[in-house]
Amino acid sequence: MVFGEIINVANFGKSLAASGRSFVGGRSAAYEKTLVEARKTAIDAMIWQAQSFGANAIVGVKIDYEAGGGNMLTVIAAGTAVTIT
Protein backbone atom coordinates (compact mmCIF):
# COMPACT_ATOMS: atom_id res chain seq x y z
CA MET A 1 0.00 0.00 0.00
CA VAL A 2 1.17 3.49 -0.80
CA PHE A 3 -0.31 6.76 0.39
CA GLY A 4 -0.18 10.44 -0.37
CA GLU A 5 -1.62 12.69 2.31
CA ILE A 6 -2.03 16.43 2.24
CA ILE A 7 -3.60 18.83 4.71
CA ASN A 8 -4.22 22.13 3.02
CA VAL A 9 -5.05 25.22 5.04
CA ALA A 10 -6.22 27.94 2.71
CA ASN A 11 -7.31 31.49 3.29
CA PHE A 12 -10.41 31.35 1.12
CA GLY A 13 -11.55 34.78 2.24
CA LYS A 14 -8.36 36.32 0.93
CA SER A 15 -8.59 34.28 -2.31
CA LEU A 16 -12.16 35.35 -2.87
CA ALA A 17 -11.37 39.00 -2.22
CA ALA A 18 -8.41 38.89 -4.61
CA SER A 19 -10.41 37.28 -7.41
CA GLY A 20 -13.61 39.22 -6.85
CA ARG A 21 -16.79 37.30 -6.28
CA SER A 22 -16.00 33.88 -7.71
CA PHE A 23 -19.27 32.07 -7.00
CA VAL A 24 -21.07 31.21 -10.23
CA GLY A 25 -24.12 28.96 -10.24
CA GLY A 26 -23.37 27.72 -6.72
CA ARG A 27 -19.73 26.94 -7.57
CA SER A 28 -16.62 28.62 -6.24
CA ALA A 29 -13.56 28.87 -8.49
CA ALA A 30 -11.33 29.49 -5.45
CA TYR A 31 -12.52 26.37 -3.62
CA GLU A 32 -12.30 24.25 -6.78
CA LYS A 33 -8.76 25.43 -7.51
CA THR A 34 -7.68 24.56 -3.96
CA LEU A 35 -9.29 21.11 -4.24
CA VAL A 36 -7.60 20.36 -7.57
CA GLU A 37 -4.19 21.46 -6.27
CA ALA A 38 -4.53 19.41 -3.07
CA ARG A 39 -5.58 16.30 -5.02
CA LYS A 40 -2.63 16.66 -7.41
CA THR A 41 -0.20 17.05 -4.50
CA ALA A 42 -1.58 13.93 -2.76
CA ILE A 43 -1.35 11.87 -5.97
CA ASP A 44 2.19 13.11 -6.64
CA ALA A 45 3.21 12.06 -3.09
CA MET A 46 1.66 8.62 -3.61
CA ILE A 47 3.52 8.20 -6.91
CA TRP A 48 6.81 9.26 -5.30
CA GLN A 49 6.33 6.68 -2.55
CA ALA A 50 5.56 3.92 -5.07
CA GLN A 51 8.65 4.79 -7.10
CA SER A 52 10.80 4.72 -3.95
CA PHE A 53 9.65 1.10 -3.46
CA GLY A 54 10.68 0.25 -7.04
CA ALA A 55 7.11 0.03 -8.34
CA ASN A 56 6.19 1.25 -11.80
CA ALA A 57 2.40 1.33 -11.42
CA ILE A 58 -0.33 1.84 -8.84
CA VAL A 59 -3.62 -0.06 -8.93
CA GLY A 60 -6.83 0.23 -6.94
CA VAL A 61 -6.43 3.95 -6.29
CA LYS A 62 -8.88 5.59 -3.91
CA ILE A 63 -8.99 9.28 -3.08
CA ASP A 64 -10.71 10.57 0.06
CA TYR A 65 -11.55 14.17 0.90
CA GLU A 66 -12.44 15.68 4.24
CA ALA A 67 -13.19 19.28 5.11
CA GLY A 68 -12.08 20.20 8.59
CA GLY A 69 -12.77 23.11 10.85
CA GLY A 70 -12.07 26.50 9.41
CA ASN A 71 -10.38 26.26 6.04
CA MET A 72 -8.71 22.86 6.37
CA LEU A 73 -8.95 20.35 3.56
CA THR A 74 -7.48 16.86 3.90
CA VAL A 75 -6.92 14.74 0.80
CA ILE A 76 -5.65 11.15 1.04
CA ALA A 77 -4.71 9.12 -2.04
CA ALA A 78 -4.14 5.39 -1.48
CA GLY A 79 -3.40 2.47 -3.75
CA THR A 80 -1.37 -0.68 -4.22
CA ALA A 81 2.10 -0.26 -5.69
CA VAL A 82 3.01 -2.97 -8.24
CA THR A 83 5.72 -3.77 -10.73
CA ILE A 84 4.54 -4.59 -14.21
CA THR A 85 7.05 -6.45 -16.36
- Dump pLDDT digits (tens) for 7-57: 987 665 555 454 555 555 667 777 788 889 999 999 999 999 999 999 999
User: Which pLDDT score is estimated for 18?
Assistant: 46
Q: Based on the structure, what is the number of domains in the chain?
A: 1
Q: CB 34: neighbour CB atoms within 10 A?
A: 19
What is the rounded distance in angstroms from the CA atom of residue 79 to the CA atom of residue 53?
A: 13
Indicate the residue type of 69.
Answer: G
pTM score: 0.78
CATH number for position 67: 3.30.110.70
Would you call 81 helix, strand, or coil by DSSP? strand
Domain that residue 29 falls in: 2-82
Q: CB 14: neighbour CB atoms within 10 A?
A: 11
